[in-house]
Structure 1
Amino acid sequence: MSVQISFDHRVQSLFPVVLVSILILGSARWILDGLKSENSEIFKTYRHKNREAVFVSDEDSLEQSCNVFEGQWVWDNVSYPLYTEKSCPYLVKQTTCQRNGRPDSYYQNWRWKPSSCDLPRFDALKLLDVLRGKRLMFIGDSVQRGTFESMVCMVQSVIPEGKKSFHRIPPMKIFKAEEYDATIEYYWAPFIVESISDHATKHTVHKRLVNLDAIDKHGKSWEEADILVFESYVWWMYKPQINATYRPKTDEVREYNVTNAYRIALETWAKWLETTIDPMKQRVFFMSMSPTHLWSWEWKPGSDGNCFNELYPINNPSYWGTGSNLEIMEILGDVMQKVRVNVTLLNITQLSEYRKDGHTTVYGERKGKLLTKEQRADPKNFADCIHWCLPGVPDTWNEILYAYLLHSHRNLF
């Protein structure tokens, strides 16, 4: 009997320990399950209190072997577009093709599908968590401004009214997500280096004068950004020659071959990166050239038009138009290979080459004004086959950037 009493006593004494253990394990399981769900209260609470509260799954992370720049455009009118013109108040008239009278919307419903993997589905809340306390800055010309507007439109709908702001401080535009202390910014610098075209509104491509070794004036606005996305191409290509100064040799203005000038400018940019960027805290991307579709004979032999009235992507996987300069691509690759700072190339050129249908054509602006009825009736002379409608192709560029940011964030934390 005494043995049985002793055994019962030991069991009773262990019961509270077992009960507490079960409760602890159950609570831990509840917390972990809660952290996995973005709709859970614990996720919402943790996300807003902890700087790094972003949960990147295997599906979000890019495979090391995956080339996201090789693939095809597939029709997807269920998941795309990611936003609409009406849902985003930050679009300028240059990109709102539907509002400006474009009769079709097919260009909004194509999804980029890499050949050997899938891009993670864009999640604005995850991106905002990655950007918490950070500055993401797009630097370049009006094509890059469209990329900036695209990114703002992709995230702004999940932010409540009163918790976001948009400011124009030339040469910059700044969107801020207040609760995340995060900004998405744009900086007008069509040549990256300094030029007479650096005024945000008073500039013209017809008069180009570039200071090939001058970048510090711009750099003061860039140096504190956490993520920098550079782009520079179209403004260089107006004519084969460009007027420039290069002080190590002479202060005088002289004519340079565009490709030589582009290389010198990029080398100036590379030196700025090496002396300014902290690779432990900052990330640098360079977006390759945005292609033009000025001559329809390139994809439709015998025709004499341009991108106007084009409704579908080019279906030739090896297509490369004359609007994308291979020598410029080689120079970019050469400079990036030599720079002693890690720069990620976003090689969007080939995938964008297929999208002859995505340009603003006659449904955009020229010199700050919408085209007149007479100008729209003359697409051969007035169609814009450089800039892109939004929603549209630049959204894919940002989806790729998003994938890289998620991937690096997961590897870092």
Structure 2
Amino acid sequence: MEKKKRLVKIWDVKHMFESSLIIFFIIGALTTTAVYYVNTDEQYTSTPASPATVAHSPSVYDSLEGCDLFSGKWVHDNDTYPLYKEQECPYIPGEFACGQYGRMDSKYQQWRWQPHDCSLPRFDAKQVLEKLRGKRIMFVGDSVNRNQWVSIVCMLQAVIPPGRKKMHKIQEVKQVQDVSLLTFKAFDYDVSIDFYWAPLLVESNADHPTKHKRTDRIVHIHSIEKHAKNWVNADVLVFNSYLWWGTPTLKILYDSLEDSTKYNVVTNHRAYRMVLRIWSKWVRTHINHARTQSYFMSMTATHHKGIDWGMQDNENCLNETEPVTKEHFWESGSDLKMMKTLELTLNNLKERGVDVKMMNITQLTQYRKDGHPSIHRLFYSTLKAKQLSNPSRYADCTHWCLPGVPDIWNELLLAYILRGLK
């Protein structure tokens, strides 16, 4: 009996020890679990990063540093493109709304630009707007620049709720009908994306944004301030000027446009050099380059001669539905001398400490003979019988359908802009 009692005591002690171990492990597990959930709750209830923090965080665009974004090829991608639908962007004017005006094919909307040495991040409109918070972007130039401006508005506006965005025109005080500035506002992000009509950069007889059809070109060579005073407050400036220099000669005025009797007639190349010299001096002396990023879009292809890609001489971009696939293809209408003048001007600025980056979109547009409106656009004047009998006579092979090629220009431009917002 005594031996049995001793065994019971030993078992009781052993049982108590084992029970204590079990309780210890249970308490430890509960404590660990509690700590995990407390930490998890802290993660989910912590204060979100402020807009400023988001804007200065490492960007997916940083990986593109050192990559030549303009050397590449077009790749068909109907999963990612188009970035928006034509019918869902209310800001596309009739000149660029190809689907609305009868274009039946849509493959021209489904091409992605693939640089040879890197890949562009997938476009994210909300991310872009967040990074542009509080900024004013201004496109300055001609109708191709307007084409690009409408494109970027369409790319961004879809994620902005109704009532939180607005498009309006700012009219000149002296000329009520002369609307030089169009502006798109994204209120929740305090972002403004503007377009300013100045096809020759300085004052000219083409300054009216709608009534500018002229048989000659007249520029007031020393009068840039009329336009430029409206550019100084932008955080990003995007210039272009090329199409309006296509006439063989221009008149250079040294007095006012009202007194147009004193002028010199010069070649278009010389006039372009003169105006770019005036423009570069203004950019150098009037822009705060610590604040403002500046870009200049290079010339874009105009596919007016089908013989360039193996068609008949009297054919053009009309009915073209596929890009040119021949590497380094170059259409005959692109003036390399004009492009060289721009390059030299920007290089001279850089030597003086002012970095205006050239967005060299020229080669990538060369391939896209399929991207133009041709006859699928709004015409503001009645077409004549002679034109109607031969549609190629009035096909627009200069501007670009939307959605389409200009969306890629803006993806490339944004890659530079967002990298610069450190």
Residue 353 of structure 1 and its aligned partner are, at CA, apart by: 0.6
- Report if the CA contact (8 A) 2:216-2:250 is conserved: no
SS class of match (1:171):
strand
**1:131-170 counterparts in 2 under 5 A?**
131-169=132-170, 170=179
Letter of the 1:114 partner, please give it: P
SS class of match (1:80):
coil
**1:72-83 counterparts in 2 under 5 A?**
72-83=73-84
Residue 208 of structure 1 and its aligned partner are, at CA, apart by: 1.4
- Asked which structure has the greater CA Rg, the reply is 2
SS class of match (1:129):
helix
Letter of the 2:292 partner, please give it: Q
Query: Which residue matches 1:391?
Result: 403
- Report if the CA contact (8 A) 1:205-1:235 is conserved: no
Q: Distance in 2 between matches of 1:113 and 1:372?
A: 42
Residue 133 of structure 1 and its aligned partner are, at CA, apart by: 1.1
- Report if the CA contact (8 A) 1:51-1:133 is conserved: no
Which of the numbers 364, 369, 378 marks the counterpart of 1:351?
364
Q: Distance in 2 between matches of 1:231 and 1:389?
A: 19
Which of the numbers 198, 201, 221 marks the counterpart of 1:189?
198
Cα deviations by residue, 1:14-48 (Å, 9 ceiling, x for unpaired): x9xx99xx6899479837xx9xxxxxx965xx45x
SS class of match (1:365):
coil
**1:103-142 counterparts in 2 under 5 A?**
103-142=104-143
Query: Which residue matches 1:315?
Result: 325
CA shift in 2, pair 1:58/1:164, >3 Å: closer
Which of the numbers 260, 274, 284 marks the counterpart of 2:284?
274
The runs of 5 or more residues in structure 2 that have no matched partner are: 1-27, 171-178
**1:208-357 counterparts in 2 under 5 A?**
208-237=217-246, 239-246=247-254, 252-300=262-310, 302-339=312-349, 340=352, 341-357=354-370
Residue 369 of structure 1 and its aligned partner are, at CA, apart by: 4.5
CA shift in 2, pair 1:372/1:107, >3 Å: farther
CA shift in 2, pair 1:56/1:319, >3 Å: farther
Query: Which residue matches 1:9?
Result: none
Letter of the 2:252 partner, please give it: A
Letter of the 1:141 partner, please give it: D
Q: Distance in 2 between matches of 1:379 and 1:131?
A: 43
Query: Which residue matches 1:11?
Result: none
Residue 364 of structure 1 and its aligned partner are, at CA, apart by: 1.6
Across the aligned residues of Structure 1 and Structure 2, the Cα RMSD in angstroms comes to 2.6
Aligned residues: 377
- Report if the CA contact (8 A) 2:232-2:287 is conserved: yes
- Report if the CA contact (8 A) 2:91-2:150 is conserved: yes
CA shift in 2, pair 1:24/1:401, >3 Å: farther
Cα deviations by residue, 1:94-125 (Å, 9 ceiling, x for unpaired): 00000000121111011111111011211111
Which of the numbers 370, 379, 387 marks the counterpart of 2:391?
379
Q: Distance in 2 between matches of 1:95 and 1:253?
A: 37
CA shift in 2, pair 1:131/1:58, >3 Å: closer
Letter of the 2:69 partner, please give it: V
Residue 377 of structure 1 and its aligned partner are, at CA, apart by: 4.9
The TM-score, its normalising length taken from structure 2, stands at: 0.83
Q: Does 302-311 or 227-236 show the bigger shift?
A: 302-311
Percent identity, please. Answer: 42
1:404 aligns with 2:416: yes
Residue 281 of structure 1 and its aligned partner are, at CA, apart by: 0.5
Q: Distance in 1 between matches of 2:377 and 2:383?
A: 7
Residue 299 of structure 1 and its aligned partner are, at CA, apart by: 0.9
The runs of 5 or more residues in structure 1 that have no matched partner are: 1-14, 35-40
Cα deviations by residue, 1:172-224 (Å, 9 ceiling, x for unpaired): 11000001111000000001111011112221142311112221011111001
Q: Distance in 2 between matches of 1:155 and 1:166?
A: 13
Query: Which residue matches 2:176?
Result: none
